[in-house]
């Protein structure tokens, strides 16, 4: 048995022991399930949470005269976290492939977007491509890591799951629009509508504790995008990257970015779904 499976088995045993001790009625059972949901979400966010802690911690405490630039420190730290998670089998190689793919997709977009002046990286670094520090790709990887892990940890299954090829068409359109809207009409509203057409009928079932719960998939994607938007506010506060409107001082990121993160979430979701296809994890099937 892998270290990850042993750890998850140990955590399951501890949860059952705590449930027996504290969940003795409908109210305490609800509280226990709610807490269990939060703990599982935190576990799924492991990579992203560590990255956010590094962004804020390095902003507050990293020495300004250090020989190693802060951005380079973040890049090396992100590599170390990823390697440690794989070595300890807290992440599967299957999940790592999804994370790498989203890392690559994000880095290409970063190079284009910074060149177009959408945002900047105000500090210098050695590990960079076309002015984009390499740690930036790990911020996209954190989203991919979360979706891959939460799918497994909550034992997702779906009803009315859209055909993967149709989701792929949507994801390709979303990615293309991030580039083309600088030169052509922005197709964002059409992409929102397309996503609702194919995802609104879909229901995702998940298991926070003993019983399955369900949620419309479109709502779940929007909620994840909302939390990524909160994380982006922390990232810009820590000056990991800066939007032009924040040159004169930090302020919350525009809610327009929530829509952008919702669409970007779709790309990552489709990548994860492509990995899980044929593994008995789609419509009407558990794990």
The share of the chain scoring above pLDDT 90, in percent, equals: 61
Mean pLDDT of 115-128: 92
Distance, in Å, from the CA atom of 29 to the CA atom of 49, rounded to the nearest integer, reads 27
Provide the pLDDT for residue 2: 60
Residue 169 has pLDDT above 80, yes or no: yes
The share of the chain scoring above pLDDT 70, in percent, equals: 89
Which range marks the domain in which residue 52 is found?
Answer: 45-276
Residue 281 falls inside a structural domain: no
The residue that leads in pLDDT, 276 or 135, is: 135
Total count of domains within the chain: 1
Distance, in Å, from the CA atom of 7 to the CA atom of 176, rounded to the nearest integer, reads 41
Under a CB-based contact definition with an 8 Å cutoff, are residues 81 and 91 in contact?
no
Under a CB-based contact definition with an 8 Å cutoff, are residues 103 and 224 in contact?
no
Mean pLDDT of 23-30: 73
Other beta carbons within 10 Å of 79 = 14
Distance, in Å, from the CA atom of 109 to the CA atom of 127, rounded to the nearest integer, reads 17
Residue 9 falls inside a structural domain: no
Residue 24 falls inside a structural domain: no
Query: Please, which pLDDT band fits residue 287 given cuts at 50, 70 and 90?
Result: very low
10 Å CB burial of residue 231 (0-12, 13-18, 19+) is buried
Query: Please, which pLDDT band fits residue 269 given cuts at 50, 70 and 90?
Result: very high
Residue 16 falls inside a structural domain: no
Residue 201 has pLDDT above 60, yes or no: yes
**Residues 6 or more apart from 150 whose CB is under 8 A from it?**
40, 41, 44, 156
Backbone angles phi, psi at 133, to 5 degrees: -65, 145
Residue 254 falls inside a structural domain: yes
Give the dihedral of Cα atoms 102, 255, 193, 265; nearest 10 deg: 20
Residue 67 falls inside a structural domain: yes
Residue 109 falls inside a structural domain: yes
Provide the pLDDT for residue 88: 84
Provide the pLDDT for residue 247: 79
Rg (CA), the chain: 20
User: pLDDT digit string (tens) for 66-109?
Assistant: 999 999 999 999 999 999 988 888 788 877 887 888 889 889 99
Residue 54 falls inside a structural domain: yes
Provide the pLDDT for residue 8: 67
């Amino acid at each position: 048995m892998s270290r990850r499976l042993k750890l998850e088995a140990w955590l399951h045993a501890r949860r059952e022991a705590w449930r027996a001790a504290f969940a003795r009625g409908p109210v305490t059972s609800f509280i226990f399930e709610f807490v269990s949901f939060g703990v599982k979400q935190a576990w799924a966010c492991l990579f992203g949470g560590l990255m956010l802690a590094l962004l804020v911690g390095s902003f507050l405490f990293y020495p300004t005269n250090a020989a190693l630039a802060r951005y380079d420190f973040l890049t090396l730290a992100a590599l170390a976290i990823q390697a440690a998670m794989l070595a300890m089998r807290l992440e599967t190689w299957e999940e790592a492939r999804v994370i790498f793919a989203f890392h690559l997709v994000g880095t290409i977009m970063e190079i284009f977007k910074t060149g177009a002046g959408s945002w900047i990286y105000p500090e210098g670094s050695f590990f960079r491509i076309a002015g984009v520090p390499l740690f930036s790709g790990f911020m996209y990887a954190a989203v991919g890591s979360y979706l891959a892990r939460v799918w497994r940890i909550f034992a997702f299954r779906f009803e009315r799951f859209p055909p993967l090829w149709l989701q792929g068409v949507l994801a390709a359109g979303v990615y293309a629009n991030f580039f083309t809207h600088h030169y052509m009409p922005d197709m964002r509203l059409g992409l929102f509508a397309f996503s609702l057409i194919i995802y609104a009928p879909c229901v995702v079932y998940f298991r926070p504790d003993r019983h399955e719960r369900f949620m419309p998939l479109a709502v779940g994607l929007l909620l994840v995008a909302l939390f990524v938007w909160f994380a982006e506010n922390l990232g810009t506060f820590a000056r990991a990257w800066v939007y032009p409107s924040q040159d004169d001082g930090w302020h919350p990121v525009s809610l327009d970015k929530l829509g952008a993160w919702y669409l970007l979430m779709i790309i990552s979701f489709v990548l994860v779904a492509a990995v899980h296809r044929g593994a008995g994890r789609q419509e009407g099937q558990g794990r």
